[in-house]
Amino acid sequence: MGKSVKFIILAILLVTGYTALAEEVPCRMRIDREKVSPGKQAQLEIELPKSYGVIVPEMPIIKDIDIRFSRSYPKAAEGITSDSQMMVFQYKVVPRTTGVFPIGPFRFQSGSDFYSTNQIMFVVEKEALRITPQQAPKSTDLKDHMYVLIDVPKTTVFINERVPVVLKLYTDWIDLENVSFSQKQSEYLLVKEFKDKLVEVIDKDATRFAVLKYTASFYAVTAGMYTLEPVSVKFTIVMPREGADGSAPELLNQNSPFYESLIGAAYSRQMELESEQVNITVMPLPVEDKPKSFRGAVGKFNFELKADKNSIKPMETVILTATISGEGNFDAMSAPVFGDPTGLKPSEPKINRSRDSISYDMPLTVQSKDIRSMPDLLFTYFDPSEKHYVTITRQIPVKLENIALSVKALSEDGLKANKAPEIRILPMKTTIDGPYPRQDPPYKGVSFWFFLIIPWVLIPSFIMFDRRRRYLDNHPSYAAFLRASRTADRSIRSAERSLKDGDMNGFYLKVFKIMQEYIGERVLISSAGVTGQTVDECVEPYVGKEMSSRIKQIFSECYSARYSAAGKDPAAMSLMLRNVGDVISEMNNKEFAKDNI
């Protein structure tokens, strides 16, 4: 074999060995944004799983895209060992025109190794709509920038069926604070509060919106046509402050004149939006085939049953925990029911509620000695999607112990086993108390209220009487004045009787006494001491001369008649009596110095 042949063989072997030793290493290529506008810059990175002996990969020329090496840096490799590193090469990518540009796969050599990259699609499209101040519309319609939609998946529902509701607040302004909701409450559609905010960014009509999603649910309590009232959303728009380096605040849609006009120099503003109302048709639950154990649960549920003990004796209590989970209305359901509660004494269950389940702690006491096995516990719900009732039956996981012994113990106490428990009560009464006809209760009778009111009449009467009595005690002249009038009235009536009876002497005597007593009381002297002189001195200064002379005339007539009363004209006597009445009446209106009224 010649030298040349050996050389060729050696060369072939060397090339083959070198080729065999050289590796085809995959490496990852990625770009920081898949969509950019023409002229905007994106950043491309190639990660080589080798940290030394590598050279900068040379990128091939791609039409309408400028790719330039920017920098390289080592980076810890992911998922291998903690001390292995990779090298990252960064490139600036600037598209010149719109279009979809595939970048890669590339294959390049570095040292003895060959590297191959993946392919990425680079989308270049026109920039999202940006309104310059010159193009800005003069009217700033709120709906162009933020609005509220209510998403109700079903508008025809069954009673008690819980329907989720999503309230979507669309805004091209992401910094909203103090978001609150208010909604007119309906008596028949019960809406739970909106919560669980979820933020999503979407592009709509060439505008980028942040969608704030708030979930709630409602259910109807009666069948019919109802309206889900509009939801009013209140919130505060917050203007982001500039960065520390003076950079502009980050907005979804920068340079929007809407916000410039809306906010100006301020940093926040209150806003309010309202959703549309939704009409809901509520159907009644089917009556046919409705199990007796149905207690209002509507949805799709599972039912599990546990007990706090495995066995139980009569008169002991076990606490059963019935847990209902699934999807549906937990607010409109009740605890599962016992198949046959005879001999059992269930107590009121304690309810523990979580987000997607509800559990009932149900104390259950075995009371009857006759019970041989624990009954089933039934939970029935209505499935609105299948439109039928489903009953889940669970056996109570508790064994009954010592039944025989207990029965024996009870039978020793006077009760016979296998017989219904005897009601041991005191005997009936054989004599009737009455019978009484049915009456209104006492508080409905007039007498009750009469007795209640009487003190309110008595108390002020007594107080007024006492005050009057005290006043008269302290004012004797006023008392004398009152007494004089009353005595005079009484005496005039007595004189009238004497006149009718024809008792002439008695009449004049009484008239004389009337005047004497009246004047005596008024001037506070003894009536026996009243004379014509008394009238001149004590009465005339207060009543005048004319009245004084009339009084004296009466006295004079009476005095003379006492000795010759016979033959007097009854008409004249009647006239005199009237005159006496007039005189007293006029004197009652005169104020005497000592009266102190």
Q: Which stretch binds another protein (CB under 8 A): 1-9, 138-146, 265-273, 329-337?
A: 329-337
Of positions 133, 153, 434, 502, contacts another protein by CB under 8 A: 434
- Residue 439 binds another protein, judged by CB under 8 A: yes
Q: How wide is the angle at C-alpha 591 spanned by C-alphas 588 and 595, nearest 5°?
A: 100
Q: Which stretch binds another protein (CB under 8 A): 23-31, 147-155, 446-454, 518-526?
A: 446-454
Q: How far is the CB of 363 from another protein (least distance, A)?
A: 10
Cβ closest to another protein, residue 425 vs residue 571: 425
Cβ closest to another protein, residue 42 vs residue 362: 362
The residue count for the chain: 597
Q: How far is the CB of 329 from another protein (least distance, A)?
A: 8
- Residue 556 binds another protein, judged by CB under 8 A: no
- Residue 246 binds another protein, judged by CB under 8 A: no
Let me know: does 203 contact 160? Beta carbons within 8 Å. no
Q: Which stretch binds another protein (CB under 8 A): 12-20, 71-79, 124-132, 439-447?
A: 439-447
Of positions 432, 446, 528, 597, contacts another protein by CB under 8 A: 432
- Residue 331 binds another protein, judged by CB under 8 A: yes
- Residue 462 binds another protein, judged by CB under 8 A: yes
CA-CA distance, 336 to 352, in Å (whole number)?
Answer: 14
Q: How far is the CB of 549 from another protein (least distance, A)?
A: 48
CA-CA distance, 297 to 320, in Å (whole number)?
Answer: 20
Q: Which stretch binds another protein (CB under 8 A): 133-141, 172-180, 459-467, 531-539?
A: 459-467
Let me know: does 106 contact 57? Beta carbons within 8 Å. yes
CA-CA distance, 260 to 359, in Å (whole number)?
Answer: 54
Cβ closest to another protein, residue 341 vs residue 570: 341
Q: How far is the CB of 121 from another protein (least distance, A)?
A: 55
Q: How far is the CB of 325 from another protein (least distance, A)?
A: 18
Does the CA dihedral 233-235-239-241 come out positive or negative? negative
Q: How far is the CB of 385 from another protein (least distance, A)?
A: 18
Q: Which stretch binds another protein (CB under 8 A): 7-15, 252-260, 345-353, 494-502?
A: 345-353
Q: How far is the CB of 371 from another protein (least distance, A)?
A: 14
Beta strands in 287-387 (DSSP E): 294-307, 311-312, 317-328, 337-338, 344-346, 350-353, 357-366, 376-383
Q: Which stretch binds another protein (CB under 8 A): 56-64, 119-127, 264-272, 332-340?
A: 332-340
Let me know: does 282 contact 223? Beta carbons within 8 Å. yes
CA-CA distance, 261 to 239, in Å (whole number)?
Answer: 12
Q: What's the number of CA atoms in the CB half-sphere (13 Å) around residue 13?
A: 6
Q: How far is the CB of 441 from another protein (least distance, A)?
A: 5
224: left (phi over 0), alpha (psi -120 to 50) or beta: left
- Residue 414 binds another protein, judged by CB under 8 A: no
- Residue 446 binds another protein, judged by CB under 8 A: no
Residue with tokens 């994106």: 42
Query: DSSP labels for 196-232?
Result: EEEEEEEEETTEEEEEEEEEEEEEESS-EEEEEPPEE
Q: How far is the CB of 300 from another protein (least distance, A)?
A: 17
Of positions 117, 160, 380, 498, contacts another protein by CB under 8 A: 160
Residue with tokens 């269930």: 346
70: CB partners within 8 A, 6+ apart = 43, 90, 91, 92
Q: Identify the DSSP state of 293.
A: T
- Residue 345 binds another protein, judged by CB under 8 A: yes
- Residue 270 binds another protein, judged by CB under 8 A: no
415: left (phi over 0), alpha (psi -120 to 50) or beta: beta
- Residue 450 binds another protein, judged by CB under 8 A: no
Query: Residue count at the site for another protein (CB under 8 A)?
Result: 48
CB neighbours (10 Å) of residue 545? Answer: 9
Question: In the range 272-301, which residues lie near another protein by CB under 8 A?
Answer: 284-285, 295-296
- Residue 435 binds another protein, judged by CB under 8 A: yes
Q: How far is the CB of 426 from another protein (least distance, A)?
A: 4
Q: How far is the CB of 568 from another protein (least distance, A)?
A: 52
Q: What are phi and psi of 349, to 5 degrees?
A: -75, 150
Q: Is 92 exposed, middle or buried (0-12, 13-18, 19+ CB in 10 A)?
A: middle
Q: Which stretch binds another protein (CB under 8 A): 20-28, 35-43, 400-408, 419-427?
A: 419-427
User: Six-digit token pair at 257?
Assistant: 């004149």
Q: Which residues pair with 276 in a beta bridge?
A: none
Q: Which of 349, 305, 303 is nearest to 326 (CA)?
A: 303
Q: Which stretch binds another protein (CB under 8 A): 112-120, 269-277, 442-450, 579-587?
A: 442-450
Rg (CA), the chain: 57
Let me know: does 283 contact 159? Beta carbons within 8 Å. yes
Q: Which stretch binds another protein (CB under 8 A): 15-23, 205-213, 233-241, 328-336?
A: 328-336
- Residue 334 binds another protein, judged by CB under 8 A: yes
- Residue 348 binds another protein, judged by CB under 8 A: yes
- Residue 427 binds another protein, judged by CB under 8 A: yes
Let me know: does 192 contact 217? Beta carbons within 8 Å. yes
Residues that bind another protein (CB under 8 A): 159-160, 221-222, 284-285, 295-296, 331-335, 341, 345-348, 423-443, 448, 451-452, 455, 458-459, 462-463, 466
